[in-house]
């Protein structure tokens, strides 16, 4: 097998594994913490709040670009978060056509509480793993975190 064939085979395996792994990871690790009564995914709401906390006030377009959602879908999620007083909208001082989104103190508190709940959920899921297995997962997550941005360009 040539190196090109090996590479193509490996990429096909990665693709197949991702199709199985990502939904399983979501279903078994993330979804159990989704207790939001809101019609928008708890995870999507958290993503928006994390972006705002890390990057500071941002435009809807900037947030939608980071998450990979259309502006229309992002507007609906922003509406939901604003209704719950987790963020606020304001007009840009430099371009009145641009709406700037900022996280509120309530949003920061909600995000911090959500992270604590999520960490407890993950801890419970991982408690039966050996130290070596936990280290394997940690290294895998760090690798994904390092490489995924290269795929999203």
Residues 95, 84: Cα–Cα separation, whole Å = 27
Tell me the per-residue pLDDT of 2-47, one tens digit each, with 9 for 90 and over: 888 888 888 888 877 777 777 677 666 766 554 544 445 778 889 8
**Tens of pLDDT, residues 41-60:** 778 889 899 999 999 999 99
As a whole number of angstroms, the distance between CA 92 and CA 73 comes to 21
| Cα–Cα dist 125/129, whole Å | 9
Q: Report DSSP state, residue 99.
A: E
What CATH class is the domain 40-151? mainly alpha
pTM score > 0.75 for this model? no
Residue spans of the domains in the chain: they are: 1-33, 40-151
pLDDT of residue 152: 66
88, 48 in Cβ contact below 8 A? no
């Amino acid at each position: 097998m040539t190196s090109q064939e090996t590479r193509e085979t490996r990429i096909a395996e990665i693709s197949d594994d991702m199709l199985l792994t990502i939904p399983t990871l979501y279903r078994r690790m993330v979804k159990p913490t989704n207790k939001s009564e809101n019609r928008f995914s708890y995870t999507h709401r958290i993503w928006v709040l994390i972006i705002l906390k890390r990057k500071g006030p941002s435009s809807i377009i900037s947030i939608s670009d980071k998450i990979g959602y259309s502006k229309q879908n992002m507007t609906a999620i922003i509406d939901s978060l604003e209704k719950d007083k987790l963020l606020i909208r304001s007009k840009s001082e430099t371009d009145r056509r641009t709406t700037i989104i900022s996280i509120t103190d309530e949003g920061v508190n909600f995000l911090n509480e959500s992270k604590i709940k999520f960490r407890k959920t993950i801890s419970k899921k991982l408690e039966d793993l050996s130290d070596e297995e936990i280290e394997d997962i940690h290294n895998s997550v760090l690798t994904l975190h390092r490489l995924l941005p290269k795929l999203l360009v």
